[in-house]
């Protein structure tokens, strides 16, 4: 949980009563690339539909112009070879001029098509990424998905890469399919008109086959496509498993990088190496399956590629030998036959791309379904959900709150609690009783359960976790997060940093750096305190927010914070001795078979054990002040040094 400060955005209290929402409609959990298309095609129905249709209609127009050029080139073939056959040299120069014009027009259309196609791909991907990213970030689904994900969805990779792989091929394939369909209709017509019919003698009977070359092209394409389908059907599943294995391998390497220090300290590199090797072996195995099926498809494709150009010449030879077709007509029929095969074999030629696209579309749809299920959990799975609302008054109220784990186990039983404005509450208890989960519920991150949490209206509420989130950017932006860095003046920022013990970086306010790596865990927690001093929220919820600091620094910073914000309501989770005297009330979560219960007691003004610790520390400091420290310098002379100086080797102590 990030230590973001939120202001507003909660539903109003709207009276005391709450109504249960009707059960949400069930979500179809079967992953499908067809459902992906259903919501992805919303690009042509949404706010950006004008842009979508502009590029789409332009692409269709260019397809028609390109088809006209192809038909022109086919007709040019006939005229050119007829002129060669008749040795009509005077006709060649005009034909060459027409050829240059057709080539120039085709090149211009191809260039425009590239721009149109890529623009449509980019705008569609941008729209879909905004939709899915918004859905992921809205209602804190990114957090809920992180704690409920048991499949390793890797939403960041799916949003960055899989969305691109699921949209770009669709544009390419759609343009190719429309072009193939129109080309098939046009060139089949040419084959019927030019190829004509053929009469085949069968004994005493002669059979006339009209449009025999066109029929041969259709039958040939049908046979090849059927072979491709039956041979390549397992390829879709293999590609999907290959992509999942690749994603898992990337995920494990990312996890290794993020936990590099911990793994290095405990010498876990050997185990991680074995784990990565096992994962990569699965990746290689899945790739081998893809290669095996792809090789079968390539065998069919290459065999067809070698045989297809010869087949129309063989079919036209009888009519040419019988002087029923000219050489130009033979060449025109051969070119038209290849065009028809290319159009009708569109599925065959794009089977691998279709398999890749289907796998990516299904992975995006899997993320979409997971986000939908997280939302459904709020409405249907539990009795609640927990309502976080705003109400009158400046305090915080917890009303009839029960927190339930997603497995149905009750973590915290029915709880009633009222926290007055300016009150400082310390929440303790055994590990695993649900302290951090209660903080998440107050933040609206844990909806599973029932009851209400009422926060002050129009109040800034700051949530400060143990691990302080440090965004990228200038130090000024880090201090102001999640607000704009321009709202923080130099004077206010320097004052807060000095108060939090970070004065050594106060001169780098406008320096952009990787602060999350430069600052230690304790320094990040000091930074969180500086953030609170600048933003001055009315409600502060702290979850072990100073646990990385030493006892004296923790005591000093909390005292400073509470004195600087005396009217802020504070809910603090902590276990250390001595924190009680800094808070006005201490609560403790105790285990119970029906869920943890909150017990409370007023904080004592004095804590004997804590006072004993402070007294011992003070006595130690006094002894150090009265101690003489002698050190032998480089010249061999003995000299006395100050107690707080850092001694070198060879120190003698005299009491």
Domain annotation covers residue 248: yes
Domain ends where: 378, 393, 408?
Answer: 378
What is the DSSP pairing of strand 5-7 with strand 460-464? antiparallel
Q: Do 365 and 396 share a structural domain?
A: no
Q: Do 583 and 539 share a structural domain?
A: yes
What pLDDT is recorded for position 648? 46
What pLDDT is recorded for position 627? 55
The model's confidence at residue 117, banded by pLDDT at 50, 70 and 90, is: very high
Average pLDDT on 182-194 reads 86
Average pLDDT on 551-580 reads 88
What's the domain range around 492?
Answer: 385-605
Q: Do 616 and 597 share a structural domain?
A: no
Q: Do 503 and 364 share a structural domain?
A: no
Whether 340 shows a pLDDT value over 90: the answer reads no
The radius of gyration computed from the CA coordinates of the chain, to the nearest angstrom, equals: 37
Whether 651 shows a pLDDT value over 50: the answer reads no
Kindly report the CATH number assigned to the domain that includes residue 338: 1.20.1560.10
What is the rounded distance in angstroms from the CA atom of residue 76 to the CA atom of residue 331?
10
What's the sign of the alpha-carbon dihedral 524, 525, 526, 531? positive
DSSP 65-91: HHHHHHHHHHHHHHHHHHHHHHT-GGG
What is the rounded distance in angstroms from the CA atom of residue 3 to the CA atom of residue 529?
11
What is the rounded distance in angstroms from the CA atom of residue 184 to the CA atom of residue 225?
15
Q: Do 330 and 245 share a structural domain?
A: yes
Percent of the chain with pLDDT over 70: 85
Kindly report the CATH number assigned to the domain that includes residue 478: 3.40.50.300
What pLDDT is recorded for position 11? 40
H or E, element range at 345? none
Average pLDDT on 297-307 reads 80
Domain ends where: 358, 378, 398?
Answer: 378
Domain annotation covers residue 136: yes
Q: Do 644 and 562 share a structural domain?
A: no
What is the rounded distance in angstroms from the CA atom of residue 319 to the CA atom of residue 123?
52
Find out whether 488 and 421 touch, Cβ atoms under 8 Å. no
Domain annotation covers residue 14: no
Domain annotation covers residue 415: yes
Average pLDDT on 329-351 reads 83
Average model confidence (pLDDT) for the chain?
A: 80
Residues 6+ apart with CB under 8 A from 143: 1, 445
The model's confidence at residue 602, banded by pLDDT at 50, 70 and 90, is: low
Q: Do 396 and 267 share a structural domain?
A: no
Average pLDDT on 439-444 reads 82
What pLDDT is recorded for position 146? 77
What is the rounded distance in angstroms from the CA atom of residue 336 to the CA atom of residue 309?
11
Q: What is the pLDDT of residues 368-413, one digit of tens each?
A: 888 888 765 544 444 457 888 887 777 888 888 888 876 677 888 8
What's the sign of the alpha-carbon dihedral 496, 502, 504, 507? negative
Domain annotation covers residue 9: no
What pLDDT is recorded for position 613? 53
Which of the given ranges, 171-185, 214-228, 247-261, 453-467, has the highest pLDDT on average?
171-185
Q: Do 636 and 498 share a structural domain?
A: no
Reported pTM: 0.62
Q: Do 399 and 360 share a structural domain?
A: no
Domain ends where: 361, 378, 395?
Answer: 378
Domain annotation covers residue 22: no
Any alpha helices (H) in 308-401, and if so which ranges? 310-321, 327-344, 346-349, 351-376
DSSP state, residue 158 = I
Q: Do 321 and 281 share a structural domain?
A: yes
Domain annotation covers residue 420: yes
Q: Do 441 and 393 share a structural domain?
A: yes
Instruction: Determine which of 46-55, 148-157, 634-643 has the lowest per-residue pLDDT on average.
Output: 634-643
Q: Do 178 and 108 share a structural domain?
A: yes
Domain annotation covers residue 64: yes
Give backbone dihedrals phi and psi of 640, rounded to 5 degrees, phi first.
Answer: -95, 140
Domain count, the chain: 3
The model's confidence at residue 431, banded by pLDDT at 50, 70 and 90, is: confident
């Amino acid at each position: 949980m990030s230590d973001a400060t939120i202001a507003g955005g909660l539903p109003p209290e709207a009276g005391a009563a709450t109504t249960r929402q009707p059960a949400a409609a069930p979500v179809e959990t079967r992953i499908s690339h067809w459902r992906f298309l259903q919501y992805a095609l919303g690009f042509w129905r949404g706010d950006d539909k004008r842009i979508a249709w502009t590029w789409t209609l332009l692409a269709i127009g260019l397809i028609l112009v390109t088809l006209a050029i192809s038909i022109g080139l086919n007709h040019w073939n006939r005229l050119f070879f007829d002129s060669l056959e008749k040795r009509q040299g005077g006709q060649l120069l005009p034909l060459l001029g027409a050829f240059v014009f057709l080539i120039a027009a085709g090149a211009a259309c191809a260039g425009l098509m590239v721009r149109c196609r890529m623009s449509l791909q980019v705008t569609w991907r941008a729209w879909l990424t905004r939709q899915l990213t918004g859905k992921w970030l809205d209602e804190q689904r990114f957090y809920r998905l992180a704690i409920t994900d048991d499949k390793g969805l890797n939403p960041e990779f799916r949003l960055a890469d899989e969305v691109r792989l699921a949209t770009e091929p669709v544009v390419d394939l759609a343009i190719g399919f429309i072009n193939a369909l129109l080309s098939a209709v046009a060139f089949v017509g040419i084959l019927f008109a030019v190829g004509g019919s053929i009469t085949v003698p069968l004994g005493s009977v002669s059979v006339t086959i009209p449009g025999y070359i066109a029929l041969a092209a259709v039958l040939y394409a049908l046979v090849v496509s059927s072979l491709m389908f039956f041979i390549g059907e397992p390829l879709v599943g293999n590609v999907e498993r290959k992509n999942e294995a690749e994603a898992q391998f990337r995920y494990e390497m990312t996890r290794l990088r993020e936990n590099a220090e911990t793994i290095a300290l405990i010498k876990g590199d050997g185990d991680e190496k074995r784990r990565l090797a096992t994962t990569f072996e699965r990746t290689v195995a899945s790739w081998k399956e893809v290669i095996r099926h792809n090789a079968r498809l390539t065998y069919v494709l290459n065999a067809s590629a070698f045989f297809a150009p010869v087949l129309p010449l063989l079919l036209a030879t009888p009519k040419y030998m019988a002087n029923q077709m000219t050489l130009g007509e033979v060449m025109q029929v051969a070119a038209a036959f290849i065009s028809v095969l290319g159009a009708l074999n569109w599925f065959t030629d794009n089977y691998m791309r279709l398999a890749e696209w289907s796998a990516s579309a299904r992975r995006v749809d899997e993320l979409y379904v997971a986000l939908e299920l997280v939302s459904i959990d709020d409405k249907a799975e539990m009795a609640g959900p927990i309502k976080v609302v705003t109400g009158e008054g400046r305090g915080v109220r917890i009303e009839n709150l029960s927190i339930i784990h997603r497995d149905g186990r009750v973590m915290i039983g029915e709880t009633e609690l009222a926290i007055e404005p300016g009150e400082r509450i310390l929440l303790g208890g055994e590990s695993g009783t649900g302290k951090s989960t209660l903080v998440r519920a107050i933040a609206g991150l844990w909806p599973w359960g029932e009851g209400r949490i009422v926060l002050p209206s129009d109040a800034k509420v700051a949530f400060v976790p143990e691990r302080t989130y440090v965004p990228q950017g200038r130090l000024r932006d880090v201090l102001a997060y999640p607000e704009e860095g321009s709202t923080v003046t130099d004077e206010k920022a320097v004052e807060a940093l000095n108060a939090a013990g970070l004065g050594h970086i106060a001169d780098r306010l406008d320096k952009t750096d990787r602060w999350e790596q430069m600052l230690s865990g304790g320094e990040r927690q000091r930074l969180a305190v500086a953030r609170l001093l600048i933003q001055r929220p009315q409600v502060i919820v702290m979850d072990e927010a100073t646990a990385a600091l030493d006892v004296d620094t923790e005591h000093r910073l909390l005292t400073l914070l509470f004195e600087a914000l005396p009217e802020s309501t504070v809910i603090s989770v902590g276990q250390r001795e001595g924190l009680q005297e800094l808070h006005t009330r201490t609560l403790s979560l105790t285990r119970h078979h029906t869920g943890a219960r909150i017990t409370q007691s007023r904080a004592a003004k004095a804590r004997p054990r804590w006072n004993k610790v402070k007294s011992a520390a003070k006595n130690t400091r006094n002894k150090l002040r009265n101690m003489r420290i002698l050190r032998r310098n480089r010249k061999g002379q003995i000299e006395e040094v100050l107690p707080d100086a850092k001694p070198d080797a060879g120190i003698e102590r005299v009491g």
